[in-house]
Chain A
Amino acid sequence: KAGVTQTPRYLIKTRGQQVTLSCSPISGHRSVSWYQQTPGQGLQFLFEYFSETQRNKGNFPGRFSGRQFSNSRSEMNVSTLELGDSALYLCASSLVSGGANEQFFGPGTRLTVL
């Protein structure tokens, strides 16, 4: 089975721009979560999607948004980029039914805001 894939792997943007990151979960997984990792704040939960619905959202401003498509692929969007948005963005997928306990993470997208 292919793992979680994220595109692009690296991205450089300037302040004020917007960015869209993509995540393809493991086949059959219906839950996709997004996390932001920075040296200062560590790993922080952004949001989780299940069956195209946002189930939970972390404490981030409205500039951060996401969506999930019918094939479970997910995108997250950050508008009006700030320097502090520079981070590693990790996507994780989970198989909700069957009591699986793991979230499988992708390799991440490293976003640099100049």
Chain B
Amino acid sequence: AQKITQTQPGMFVQEKEAVTLDCTYDTSDPSYGLFWYKQPSSGEMIFLIYQGSYDQQNATEGRYSLNFQKARKSANLVISASQLGDSAMYFCAMREGHSGAGSYQLTFGKGTKLSVIP
């Protein structure tokens, strides 16, 4: 079974609108971290936001927020007020195990290509 599932291969959003990118995950490890990365056409992976499995509140970073629903194993990324520069591939990823104790191996989803329309 896939550990990270992103069901939306592509999404379109109007500039200045909000958009939600879906991510579900599968793990039996009680300690894990969930990440979202942005990859523009240049190829570099840009860290956006992180949510730990024990975090009580949803993570937020500027225009990015993570809708974390632990029971549903869901970690959707919400981008508010979309900008043209948000057009890129977005990847959800998971690291299992404690930070500093376990490996820093990330398992990535297939990604969602977001296109922002002016």
Contact = CB atoms under 8 A, between A and B. Distances in A.
Contact of A33 (B43, B91, B100, B106): B106
B52 A48 contact: no
B50 interface: yes
A56 B43 contact: no
Interface stretch (A63-71, A73-81, A87-95): A87-95
Interface of B: 33, 35, 37, 42-47, 50, 52, 91, 93, 99-100, 103-111
Chain A interface residue bracket vs B: 20 to 34
B105 A106 contact: no
Secondary structure of the B contact surface, majority rule: loop
Given A44-B108, A105-B47, 19 more contacts: A31-B104, A33-B104, A35-B106, A42-B108, A43-B108, A48-B103, A48-B104, A56-B103, A58-B105, A90-B43, A97-B100, A98-B100, A99-B100, A101-B35, A101-B50, A102-B35, A102-B50, A103-B106, A108-B43
Q: Which 4 A-B pairs have CB atoms at the shortest separation, nearest pair first?
A: A105-B45, A43-B108, A56-B103, A108-B43
A15 B110 CA distance: 27
A105 B44 contact: yes
B100 A96 contact: yes
Contacts of A107: 42-44
